[in-house]
Amino acid sequence: MIIVLCLLFLLFPSTKALALSITVDGVRLSRVYITFNEDNITNRHIDFFIKEIKHVSDVRIVKQSIKSSKQFITICVKRTTPPYEFAADVAKIKNDGFLLAIERGTVFIISAETLGLIYGLNEFMELLGFRYYMPGPYGTVYPTSEIHVSKQKIISNPVFKYRSVGNGEWSLFAYRSNVNIVSLPEHYGKRIFGIFHTFDMLLPGQKYSHEHPEYYAKRKVWDLINDKGKLQLNTSNPEVIELIAKNLTDLSEEGKYEMLTLAPNDHRRFDMTFKSLKMDEWGVPSDQKMSKRLFIFYNEVAKKYKEMGGPLPIRIGAYDIYTAPPKDKALKLESGLIPYIAHFNYCQLHAIEDENCRPNRRFSEIIDRWRNLSGNLFIYEYAYKHNWLELPWPVYVHAAQNIKYYKSKGAIGYFTQFSGENVFSNLLNYYS
């Protein structure tokens, strides 16, 4: 029976519902005017909104854009939007948060940034009863009864200044997940150089390794065991430190980014010469084996970078065998460096604050150590991994609790791996 129902679901996706009435604070809509400041991305989302409204109702919609320095959308039964006193409320909007105010036959969406308008429009669609569990018709749930939205005012500010779910802009457009970094169009959101692993982006082996093999890890014997991935940089080489600092400075001066990322390549392959090995701490947990050499490298790069006039903050990778700060508590972190901490090789099935979960107790200790070294943190989470083999993996049950925890520890940014490849197997777990 279940198989038959699933087949019917696949063969007959959600179809257009009967024309529903839409009432906004006691005013039934028949024709509305959507007014917004001229902007291509906002226009794209308004077009989507109109398409969805037409799918469930016969409301006639007129779209009109005007030139304005203010970020706003109004949806009103009158062509001319009535004035709304919002100065005190606008002052409460932080970063790309938004104000959503609903009065008789009128909806106001106001933000300091363009993306905030999109988030506000998403919120209004939620109030109307639209739900998007995954991209496409199979994941779209439309309202099925008459729609009534009451008078209300919502001021919504993001928990994190920087947010990303996966690497693609489909996360914004298809899931309406209120992300604001990575591959959004260049003039929107928060631009950060690099997702995580950037050593080879900053000093490409293909470009330099032939003439300068000394820039890269030496590990001929060790590569008999592991030669997967690209060689790491030789982090003890002063020329490498100088070049990395110079390349980061050049990136900071391009005017495209708000933050830069400095972290080793994936798959380990670190330098195994005596000079590097003697920098490491011995007898430490596995998540600390390479921490000291990288901590020193990050600091040395930061010093050079500041000498060269680099103005932007730099996320520094803390992952795998360099997740924890060094054991040596005498070491201090240079200003302008933001630990970018991966919740990897710990526990995804329990809340981080669960004291009965030994792996997460360790991770919580690491978070506290990094917090003592830096006022700001950036988090790298895992809502998806290739080695989960696209099977259901409901790690989302503690997501809200963990997010509150990260915020309490000074996190300013949150990135999580995510893929559309296993969305159908997880389905409703992706919606919150």
Per-residue pLDDT of 168-197, as tens digits, reads: 656 666 667 888 886 555 567 788 999 999
Please, what is the average pLDDT of the chain? 88
Residue 393 has pLDDT above 90, yes or no: no
pLDDT at 291: 98
Residue of 221 and 65 predicted with greater confidence: 65
Residue 430 has pLDDT above 50, yes or no: no
Query: Do the domains 199-430 and 19-157 match in fold?
Result: no
**Contact partners, residue 86, CB within 8 Å, separation at least 6:** 99, 101, 108, 110
Residue of 412 and 395 predicted with greater confidence: 412
Residue 413 has pLDDT above 80, yes or no: yes
pLDDT at 40: 83
pLDDT at 8: 46
| 411-417, strands of its sheet edge to edge | 162-165, 411-417, 377-382, 337-342, 314-318, 260-262
pLDDT at 67: 86
Q: Look at domain 199-430 and name its CATH class.
A: alpha beta
Average pLDDT over residues 270-287: 94
Residue 28 has pLDDT above 90, yes or no: yes
Domain boundaries, the chain: 19-157, 199-430
Query: Could you give the residue ranges of the DSSP H alpha helices within 26-80?
Result: 40-56
Instruction: Find tokens 């001929």 and name the residue.
Output: 220
Residue 4 has pLDDT above 50, yes or no: no
State the pLDDT confidence band at 3, using cuts at 50, 70 and 90: low
State pTM to two decimals: 0.88
Q: Look at domain 19-157 and name its CATH class.
A: alpha beta
User: Cα(380)–Cα(120) distance, rounded to whole angstroms?
Assistant: 26
Average pLDDT over residues 20-39: 94
Average pLDDT over residues 7-12: 47
Give per-residue pLDDT as tens, 115-136: 899 999 999 999 999 988 776 7
User: Cα(385)–Cα(393) distance, rounded to whole angstroms?
Assistant: 9
User: Cα(200)–Cα(244) distance, rounded to whole angstroms?
Assistant: 10
Average pLDDT over residues 29-38: 93
Residue 5 has pLDDT above 70, yes or no: no
Give per-residue pLDDT as tens, 284-306: 999 999 999 999 999 999 999 99
